[in-house]
Amino acid sequence: MSKLLIVGTVAFDAIETPFGKTDKILGGAGTYIGLSASQFNVDSAVVSVVGDDFPQEYLDLLTKNNINIEGIEVVPGGKTFFWSGRYHNDLNSRDTLDTQLNVLADFKPVVPNEYKDAEIVMLGNLHPLVQLSVLEQLESPKLAILDTMNFWMDNALEDLMKVISKVDVITINDEEARQLSGEYSLAKAAKKIATMGPKYVVIKKGEHGALLFHEEQVFFAPALPLEEVFDPTGAGDTFAGGFAGYIAKTGDISFANMKNAIIYGSNLASFCVEKFGTERMVELSGEEVDSRLEEFKKLTQFEIALT
C-alpha cells in the first residue's frame, strides 16, 4: 500500500437539480476525492483550507473515514469556499449561480511532514500554482495525477501548462481535452496532450464513460446505465478519487492496473450520483462496491471465438 496525498477544495455547495435543492452542504473536490479513495482503506491526507464557519462535524466525518486532516488549514475569522449551481433537466449541464472564493483566495497549501514521502499524489481541481506548490513539497512521488478544468485553460494557461508538464496522469473531460489540444478526435487529443507531459491521459465523458490512453494503447471504462441520476455533483472527483485510491492501495502503476483503476473510478462515481452531495458516498459499503463491480463485468465482458 502507498500513501496518498490529496489536494483539493473542502467546501460548501448549494445544489439545485430537477429533484430538489439543498442548503449549504459538504462539498469540494478534496472532499469527494478523499471519500472515494477511502473506500480502499488507504493511508490518505487532504491538503486544503476552510474558514472557522466550517462545521467540526464535517471535519470529523473525514477523520472517521480514515482521512488525515492535519493539512486542512482552518483560517480564524475566515469564510469557507462556497459554490452554488443549478442543473438543467437533462443533468448534463449546469449553471453556476454563485462562487465565493473566500479563504481559497489566499490559500498557501502546506503538506504535512509525514505525507511528504507520499508515493501517490492526486492534485484535485484548483489554481495550477497551488497544485504546483503541493507537487514541489513532495519528495519523490511515484505517480502524480492531475485533475483540472476549462476555467484554468481560459484564465491561467501558462501556469497550467507548467503543472501539466510535471505530472504522470491527467484527468479531464472530453470538452476540456478538445480545448486543450485543439483536436476534435479524442484519440488525437490524447496524443497531443501526452506530448505536453502526462504519459497517461484519462478523458472523462460523464454518462458515456472514460477513456485511458497510454502510448499506442487505449482502454475504455463505461458508465453504468442508471435508471435515476439524482445529482451529478462530485462525480468527476469521485472518479478521480477511485482511480487514485485503487492505485494507492495496490501500489501498482502499470497500464494493466490503471485499467482496473478507471473501472473502480467509474464504479464509485456511479454511486455518487445516486443521492445529493456526499450522502451516498458516506454510507457506501465495500459489499456494494464489490457487487457493482460484478455489474461492470456483465456490462462489458464478452467471449468471442474468431470466426
Q: Tell whether residue 290 is a contact of a copy of itself (CB under 8 A).
A: yes
| Residue 178 backbone dihedrals phi, psi, to 5 degrees | -65, -40
Applying CB under 8 A, among 24, 142, 162, 259 the residue interacting with a copy of itself is 259
Nearer to a copy of itself, 142 or 259 (CB): 259
| Position among 101, 156, 161, 218 found at the interface with a copy of itself (CB under 8 A) | 218
Using the rule CB under 8 A, is 217 a contact of a copy of itself? yes
Region near a copy of itself per CB under 8 A, out of 1-9, 152-160, 233-241, 260-268: 260-268
Find the binder of a copy of itself among 17, 102, 173, 260 (CB under 8 A).
Answer: 260
- The number of residues that bind a copy of itself (CB under 8 A) is 43
Site string for a copy of itself, 8-47 (x = CB under 8 A): --------------------------------x-------
Shortest approach of a copy of itself to residue 305 CB, angstroms? 9
The site map against a copy of itself for 156-185 (x = CB under 8 A) is ----------------------------xx
The binder of a copy of itself chosen from 142, 199, 205, 275 (CB under 8 A) = 205
Of 188, 199, 252, 279, which one interacts with a copy of itself (CB under 8 A)?
188
266/263 Cα distance (integer angstroms): 5
Cell 499506442 locates to 216
- Residue 229 touches a copy of itself, criterion: CB under 8 A: yes
In the complex, minimum distance from the CB of residue 225 to a copy of itself, in angstroms, rounded to a whole number: 4
Please report how close the Cβ of residue 44 comes to a copy of itself at its closest, in angstroms.
16
- Ranges within 56-115 binding a copy of itself (CB under 8 A): 89-90
Under rule CB under 8 A, residue 281 binds a copy of itself: no
Cβ-Cβ contacts under 8 Å for 120 (sequence gap 6 or more): 2, 3, 4, 5, 141, 142, 143, 145, 244, 247, 248
Instruction: Quote the least distance from Cβ 304 to a copy of itself, whole Å.
Output: 5
Residue 170 zone, left/alpha/beta (φ > 0; ψ -120 to 50; rest): beta
Q: Which residues bind a copy of itself (CB under 8 A)?
A: 40, 89-90, 184-188, 191, 205, 208-209, 211, 217-220, 222, 225-229, 246, 249, 256, 259-260, 263-264, 286, 290, 293, 297-304, 306-307
